[in-house]
Homo-oligomer: A and B are copies of this chain.
Amino acid sequence: MSAAPYDQHRRQIEGFLVAFGMPEATAAGTAEIMAWADLHGIDSHGISMIPTYDAHRRNGKMRMQAIPRIVKQTPVSALIDGDGGLGHPTSRMAMDTAIAKAKLAGVGLVAVRNSSHFGACGFYARMAADAGLIGLVTTSASGIQVAPTGGKRARFGTDPIAFAAPGRDGEPFLLDMATTTVAAGRIRNKANEGLQCPPGWVQTKDGEPSTDPLEAREKGGFLTSLGGTAEGSSYKGYGLASMVNILSSALSGATMVTDPMHTKHPGTMGIGHFFMAMDPAMFRDEEDFRTDVISFCDAMRATPAIDPNQPVMVAGDPERRRAAIRLQSGIPIAPGLLTQLRQVAEASGAPWVL
């Protein structure tokens, strides 16, 4: 498998975005966010999205020269209109705004409408933690593939939540999770390897539990909400996905996942996001807070492990570990994706640096 150093990988993404018509400064910032995802092993949200973004901008569903703007604000809040652009620059502006407000007023709450895919949720939550704040981020999704508990029609996407709190420098607590049992990519991997899924990952179009990875897509079935089955309390994952949609879409006035015809904003992705930054110093000395988060994380890591070779980890640890490896060995790209990317580069006139 081909693997390029981080910086080369980042420059390739930037080249694509500029070729797609994105202004250079915006492209540089967006490439940083996408390359961060790849560096940390969140492969579904980095360069692998380029073909999809290319399709969206060509069919007019995503404006590469969008200029997001604040349309309403208070000392603690802002509503941002994403101008139909790619979600990354809008979302960085949104979290920057939330952080600035939190630094002045203790908390910043930013809702975003008229946006699209913003990549890895965790990047924006981490921005808050890097600023010494607690961060919370949610987004609505466009790929509808999850049925609510007890139902047999898709209503939800993977509807992720990210939450970050400052710990040791560069080592925040960083939870970034889809509210489904697993992401679609992991099911696709099982199909590619000819393997069955563990129980609870997918269900058939009639709502029956299944272990066939093809159920989730080709056969009309669904991904499951976290919990996997009704007995495993999938109504909790379904409830969290509902919370994510209320925060991301109902609050901002984006397209609700239950409005598949996009009646509010025809012809756009209509995605909504929610960002919160909160200053722990409103409640306690911030160093005391940070010390408690650090001891909490350390106590988790020190928990006796079931398998002594697999120590207990804390949210953010697995991704940091992968980033350390990939900084050394480069960021791998599978052959199929590489071919696809080369085609997009040729068609769009992006320079090829991989």
Q: A residues within 8 Å of B by Cβ?
A: 72, 74-77, 79, 105-107, 109, 111, 134, 147-153, 155, 163, 165, 173, 175, 177, 181-182, 198-200, 206-208, 226-229, 231-233, 235-240, 242-243, 245-247, 249-253, 256-259, 278, 280, 282-284, 288-289, 292-293, 295-296, 299-300, 303-307, 310-315
Contacts and interface: CB of A to CB of B under 8 A. Distances in A.
B253 A284 contact: yes
A163 B243 contact: yes
Contacts of A238: 315
Contact of A227 (B181, B239, B278): B181
A97 to B, nearest CB: 13
Contact of A242 (B150, B175, B278): B175
A307 B253 contact: no
A237 to B, nearest CB: 7
A226 B231 contact: no
B296 A256 contact: yes
Contact of A252 (B76, B233, B284, B300): B284
B239 A228 contact: no
Given A198-B232, A252-B284, A303-B148, A293 B246 contact: yes
Give this chain's copy count.
2
Contacts of A182: 233
Given A177-B240, A199-B199, A200-B228, 7 more contacts: A134-B246, A150-B312, A152-B304, A155-B303, A181-B227, A200-B232, A253-B289
Contacts of A239: 163, 175, 177, 315
Contact of A306 (B207, B235, B242, B257): B207
Contacts of A304: 151-153
Contacts of A226: 226-227, 233, 236-237
Contacts of A300: 148, 151, 155, 242, 258
Given A152-B304, A305-B150, A311-B150, A249 B283 contact: no
Contacts of A109: 106-107, 278, 282
Contact of A152 (B173, B295, B305, B313): B305
Nearest to A294: B250
Shortest Cβ-Cβ A-B pairs, 8 listed? A207-B306, A258-B299, A151-B303, A175-B239, A250-B292, A77-B282, A198-B231, A151-B312
Most buried by B among A208, A258, A288: A258
A292 B227 contact: no
Contacts of A299: 155, 256, 258
A98 to B, nearest CB: 12
A312 to B, nearest CB: 4
Nearest to A310: B150
Contacts of A105: 74-76
Nearest to A228: B232
A291 to B, nearest CB: 9
B250 A289 contact: yes
B173 A242 contact: yes
Given A150-B306, A312-B151, A289 B233 contact: no
A237 B236 CA distance: 10
A288 to B, nearest CB: 7
